[in-house]
Amino acid sequence: MDSWVLLVAAYALIWAFVFGYVIWLGRRQAELRREVELLRKAVEGEGGRHRRDQ
């Protein structure tokens, strides 16, 4: 019976790490999205065109 307890504990631990990693990725993505939006506004504020738009 002890091996089943260890198996369930290991399984739960793995899922906890996966869940935490997904939450971290979501927060990082939101942070990067905000940063990209700030950069986009800064470039548009300069009144210049993007190199690829020319």
pLDDT of residue 53 exceeding 60: no
Euclidean distance between CA atoms 1 and 22, whole angstroms: 32
- What pLDDT shows up at residue 10? 97
Summarize pLDDT for 7-51 with one digit per residue, the tens. Answer: 999 999 999 999 999 999 999 999 999 999 999 999 998 765 556
Domain locations in the chain? 2-45
- What pLDDT shows up at residue 46? 79
| Helical (H) or strand (E) element with 4 | helix 2-46
